[in-house]
Amino acid sequence: MKLVYVCIAALCIAVALTAFADQVEVTEIKDNKNGIYQAVELEEGGKFFHDRAYTITNIPKEFRGLTQVSTSADCPGGQDYRLTFEIDRSAYVYQAWDSRHTAPEDRGQDPKGWFTTGYTDTEETLMLDAPHAPTEYFIYKSNEPYPKGTVELLGIDEVIGDPVIMWTIFVEEGVLPVDPTGNLTTTWGEIKSDQ
């Protein structure tokens, strides 16, 4: 019976640590087209774009409180576009795309297919809202977490007839399947030598 109590206590501690974990720190956000970005907390009723009064609403609960890379409403796009930022730990990257336009997986990409093969539609949405007319945004998640360090998001066609890409980005801590800082054969050799 004691084992059951210990397991329940361990589970409660793990849930509490997860719920109150620090946000992924995002710094040095820049692109190759002189766009302006800000790292903020993704919050219900917060600003969708840092340079407009539009709000962000209907955020699924599991995403609230994550770090948002707040873009400009005039965020440049194009296949030659490159956005980079630094993360302080491994993290999944989410991209929310305007439902009024061609889905990102159906746009031109450089290199070809980087988004299509690297991201999956979560089938979740959030809204660009007042004072803008309510507009649904589809949320995509990176298939694997990006390792600590530089994240680079690559070129994707802008909205047809408009030189912008209409999106927002947010990040969530994620664990890599294998820590990329070690060499597997070296680590295995060290484990065997300790026997």
Parse the chain into domains and list their residue ranges: 24-178
Q: What is the pLDDT of residue 19?
A: 43
The pLDDT tens digits for 128-147 are 999 999 999 999 999 999 99
The pLDDT tens digits for 7-60 are 455 554 544 444 445 899 999 999 998 888 999 999 999 999 999 999 999 999
Q: 119-129 and 55-57: which strand pairing?
A: antiparallel
What single-letter DSSP state applies at residue 6? H
Q: Is the pTM of this model over 0.85?
A: no
Give the integer Cα–Cα distance in Å for 165 and 163: 7
